[in-house]
Amino acid sequence: MTLDISSPEQAEQEIVQLRQQISHHNHRYYVLDEPDIPDAEYDRLYARLKALESAFPHLITDDSPTQRVGGAPLKAFGQVRHELPMLSLDNAFNEEDQADFNRKIQERLDRTTEIEYACEPKLDGIAVSLLYEDGRFIRAATRGDGTAGEDITQNIRTISAIPLRLSSDDWPRRLEVRGEVYMPSAGFAQLNQRAKARGEKLFVNPRNAAAGSLRQLDSRITARRPLTIYCYGVGIVEGGALPGKHSEILACLGKWGLRVCPELKVVKGLAACEQYYQAMVEKRANLPYEIDGIVYKVNAIAEQQTLGFISRAPRWAIARKFPAQEAVTTLVNVEFQVGRTGAITPVARLQPVFVGGVTVSNATLHNMDEIQRLDIKIGDSVVILRAGDVIPKVSRVIHSMRPDDARAIEFPDRCPACDSQLEREETTLRCTGGLFCAAQRKEAIKHFASRKAMDIDGLGEKLVEQLVDRQLVATVADLFSLSVDQVACLERMGEKSAENLINAVDRSRKTTLPRFIYALGIREVGESTAQALAAHYQDLHQLMAASAEDLQTVDDVGPVVAGHIDKFFQQEHNREVIEALLAKGVEGTVEATVVGEQPLAGQTWVLTGTLHTMSRDEGKALLQRLGAKVSGSISAKTSALLAGEKAGSKLAKASKLGVRIVTEDDFTRMQQEWVTD
Ligand code: IVH
């Protein structure tokens, strides 16, 4: 970390400020269970203070948060002094830190061979100590400041996962078990759902919900909370011996009826530690509980003893943290984007921030409701969440940090792209400009050209922008009058690529009716509705002439969709565009017709594996044309499974349920009986 400090006076000033901030957040986190900044932001403040203090050691004071870990226990609980301190863990933030840790251990143990480690998920809950005497649960305490914690015996008793008597009888007479009490993700979601239904305050995350539940003075409340535990170590051991390896001790705990995390794995050497880390990064989203990293522990207890401790952490263990999924940044501005159907979406422009492995500078704010729910203003400090591959979102606003000059977000009353009036539809604002609106036009053209629509290869976003901005294309029909010369002089285009584009446009003239209908971009008419409409009307003009009532006789078309379709075809400019397309030779034909009635009418089919004679989408369309409903999952009601190559779990499930299995060859044979050209 570069300090960027010009004088000791400046350092002192910043140190004082950081200590105040950290104490404030410590209080909220440890005492109130109500943090208002993400852990990663707290870690950043803490790391900054530590760095400043090590550069200016004479400024360290006894009351600095770096000299004391944790916060004061709540007064109302009894105090428990830990006979053996409850330690904390040092952190590793990357491979290099992890390698350093491994190297130091090898040096200290004077070993050149690989070290054996126990790898465990770092659970995101509350550390507790459970005391068993003669196999009976006697007392439980929180970690507190590591030396003394709160007596939470009554609350712990309510957690069914914690045995009141140990099973088997080979346990030490006095045994202190240590572990993490946590709330599984599903239980957390339910708890918050119930709280929401009752109009109560929601918990920020499962860790806070677990902490809040454990620190209830009324244990009847704790009893209603979905808490559980994973045990990860021992403290006092008297009147009996334990095995010589950490992993074996945990196996003993398991045998005695205590919960131990099943992800525990013993590995040898640094490379295997890294492999475990990568495997857990992938597995993380599917675990039923939250973890924030991996804990590596030297497995041999004798080696742990040789290594010993420094201040508050053992030298034989380290917590490798996952990259932060939350970060704080500033909302710089809000802009309004116009979508294909005219919906106006507020987009947050953010001070760029690194989170979940990428730099984020924009996030959608969805609609007016979301802005109200967040209570967000321009200038606010906001928490950005990016978990896994999920699109980043503004998860909350830190209201305590709101600057005096924060500005309210004002919704436009006219379209930012074409100045047309906006209409309000529940929580959404929509531009009424239709294809007159340049923004909607661009989106409509992009949709028209997309793979599942007219499939015009090479007509991407940048090109569409240029074509519309230079007024070469106003409607999708204009695409079919473009010349190579017009396209060749656009940015990043040459003679050859222009020719390719024009050829692709040409090729798209002959298409299928479902694609043509889908390409028009009618609201809520996706691929399968387009297919149903094509199958029903067989001709575009028939569809255009259909009334809203008649449209509702088509499968999957309800009153809302029928209304959208009717409205679309009633608009003069839409009819004009369609006629222009037809005049330029664009043609959507109904493919092979089916002999007699639809042979698969009333049946539900599922598709799986890779097909060779057609794509999955084509297979789906064909099944639908034959009258089948196509579903994504197998059940006892499934009529048949069309199984291509490398069919996996669906094939297994179908055989188990006795569902008819049809191979691609069988299917081809069946089609020959049904379909004529
Ligand atoms: S071992 C001396 N193992 O992390 C070792 N801790 O930063 C003490 N934690 O207070 C802890 N999962 O609350 C250990 N598998 C695990 C853990 C774990 C979560 C928490 C625990 C501890 C904190 C240390």
CB 661 within 8 A of CB 651: yes
- List pocket residues of ligand 1, CB cut-off 6 Å: 87-89, 120, 122-123, 127, 143, 180, 232-233, 295, 314, 317, 319
Over its C-alpha atoms, the chain yields an Rg (Å, rounded) of 32
Q: The whole model's pTM is what?
A: 0.54
The helix (H) or strand (E) run that includes residue 509 is none
pLDDT value at position 675? 55
Tell me the average pLDDT across 209-232: 90
**Bridging pattern class, strands 228-238 and 660-663:** unpaired
Cβ partners under 8 Å of residue 524, min gap 6: 560, 561, 564
Strand-pairing partners, residue 265, are 119
Token pair 């969709």: residue:
561
3-state secondary structure at position 491:
coil
Other beta carbons less than 10 A from residue 641's beta carbon: 23
Return the best residue to mutate from 120, 176, 183, 232 for the ligand 1 pocket (most ligand atoms within 8 A of CB): 232
Helices (H) and strands (E) in the chain, counts: 24, 28
Q: Is the predicted pLDDT of residue 389 greater than 80, yes or no?
A: no
Sequence-separated (6 or more) residues with CB below 8 Å from residue 282:
none
Q: Yes or no: say if 292 and 124 are a contact pair by the CB < 8 Å rule.
A: yes
pLDDT at residue 370 above 50? yes
- Name the residue at shortest CA distance from atom 1 of ligand 1: 232
When the pLDDT of each residue in the chain is averaged and rounded to a whole number, the result is 89
At position 631, the amino acid (one-letter code) is S
Average pLDDT over residues 433-442: 84
Q: Which residue has the higher pLDDT, 213 or 2?
A: 213
Contact partners, residue 304, CB within 8 Å, separation at least 6: 246, 297, 298, 314, 316
pLDDT classification of 157: cutoffs 50, 70, 90: confident
Atom 13 of ligand 1, residue of closest alpha carbon: 127
pLDDT-based confidence at 601, cuts 50/70/90? confident
Query: Residue 125 carries which DSSP code?
Result: S
Q: What are phi and psi of 584, to 5 degrees?
A: -90, 15
Atom of ligand 1 nearest to the CA of 88: 24
Question: Locate tokens 């350093």: which residue?
Answer: 100
Tokens 């209603």 label which residue? 224
DSSP state of 436: G
Q: Is 79 left (phi over 0), alpha (psi -120 to 50) or beta?
A: beta
One-character DSSP codes across 543-609: HHH--HHHHTTSTT--HHHHHHHHHHHHSHHHHHHHHHHHHTT-EEE--SEESSS-TTTT-EEEEES
Buried b or exposed e, range 318-353, using 16+ CB within 10 angstroms: bbbbbbbbbbbbebeebebebebbbbbbbebebeeb
With H, G, I as helix, E, B as strand and everything else as coil, classify residue 14.
Answer: helix
Structure token pair of residue 394:
């503004």
Confidence band, pLDDT 50/70/90 cuts, at residue 48? very high
Residue type, 505: V
3-state DSSP assignment of residue 450: coil
Residue of minimum CA distance from atom 12 in ligand 1 = 122
Closest residue to atom 18 of ligand 1, CA basis = 122
The residue nearest atom 14 of ligand 1, judged by CA position, is: 232
- The string of pLDDT tens digits covering residues 499-518 is 999 999 999 999 999 999 99
Q: At what angle do helices 559-570 and 572-583 cross, to 10 degrees?
A: 70
| Beta strand extents in 22-78 (DSSP E only) | none
Residue 541, phi then psi, degrees to nearest 5: -65, -35
Residue 528 banded pLDDT, cuts 50, 70, 90:
confident
Q: pLDDT confidence of 263, banded at 50, 70, 90?
A: very high
Q: Report d(CA 562, CA 549) in Å as an integer.
A: 8
Neighbours of 654 (CB within 10 A): 21
Cβ burial, residue 263 (10 Å; 0-12/13-18/19+): middle
Ligand 1: residue of 30, 89, 280, 309 to mutate (most ligand atoms within 8 A of CB) is 89
CA-nearest of 186, 180, 145, 196 to 261 is 180
Residues 6+ apart with CB under 8 A from 135: 165, 166, 169, 171, 256
User: Can you give the pLDDT at residue 70?
Assistant: 31
Q: Which atom of ligand 1 is nearest to the CA of 314?
A: 2
**pLDDT, position 482:** 95
The residue whose two tokens read 């656009």 is 490
pLDDT for position 68: 43
CA dist 564 and 205 (Å) reads 41
Q: Work out the burial of residue 115: count CB atoms within 10 Å of its CB; fewer than 13 is exposed, 13-18 middle, 19 or more buried.
A: buried
* Residues with catalytic roles: 122
Distance, CA 232 to ligand 1 centroid (Å)?
Answer: 8
Q: Is 630 exposed, middle or buried (0-12, 13-18, 19+ CB in 10 A)?
A: buried
Task: For residue range 165-218, list pLDDT tens digits in order.
Answer: 888 889 999 999 999 999 999 999 999 999 989 888 888 789 989 999 998 888
Give me the long-range contacts of 203-207 (CB less than 8 A, separation at least 24).
204/34, 204/35, 204/396, 205/124, 205/290, 206/124, 206/125, 206/182, 206/289, 206/290, 207/124, 207/125, 207/126, 207/182, 207/183, 207/290
Question: What is the best residue among 177, 180, 259, 299 to mutate for testing ligand 1's pocket, by most ligand atoms within 8 Å of CB?
Answer: 180
For residues 584 and 480, is the Cβ–Cβ distance under 8 A? yes
Residue where the block lists tokens 């590596």: 296
* Closest to 227 in 3D by CA, of 167, 171, 185: 185
Residue with tokens 């993700």: 185
93-138 confidence digits (pLDDT tens):
899 999 999 999 999 999 999 999 999 999 999 999 999 999 989 9
Q: Checking DSSP bridges between strand 604-608 and strand 640-643, what pairing results, if any?
A: parallel
**What is the CA(89)–ligand 1 centre distance, in A?**
7
Query: What is residue 73's DSSP assignment?
Result: P
| 414 CA to centre of ligand 1 in angstroms | 55
- Please name the residue whose Cα sits nearest to atom 2 of ligand 1: 87
Please give the number of the atom of ligand 1 that sits closest to the Cα of 233.
1
Is the pLDDT assigned to residue 436 strictly greater than 90? no
Question: Residue 207 C-alpha to ligand 1 middle, in angstroms?
Answer: 14
Q: What is the Å distance from ligand 1's center to 270 Cα?
A: 20
Higher pLDDT, 541 or 2: 541
Q: Are 97 and 267 in contact (CB under 8 A)?
A: no
Q: Quick one: average pLDDT of 587-596?
A: 69
- For residues 668 and 655, the answer to whether their CB atoms sit within 8 Å is no
229 C-alpha to center of ligand 1: Å? 12
Rounded to whole angstroms, the Cα distance separating 428 from 366 reads: 9
640 C-alpha to ligand 1 centroid (Å):
51
Out of 46, 122, 142, 298, give the residue to mutate to test ligand 1, the one with the largest number of ligand atoms within 8 Å of its CB: 122
Sign of CA dihedral 404, 409, 413, 414: positive
Indicate the top mutation candidate among 88, 91, 207 to test ligand 1's pocket, ranked by most ligand atoms within 8 A of CB. 88
Residues contacting 492, CB < 8 A, separation 6+? 462
Q: What atom of ligand 1 comes closest to residue 127's alpha carbon?
A: 13
Report the separation in Å between the CA atom of 88 and the middle of ligand 1, taken as the mean of its atom positions. Answer: 7
Q: State the chain's maximal CA–CA distance in angstroms.
A: 94
The alpha carbon torsion through 389, 390, 393, 395 (nearest 10 deg) reads -100
CA of 388 to the centre of ligand 1 (A): 23
Q: Give nearest CA residue, ligand 1 atom 17.
A: 122
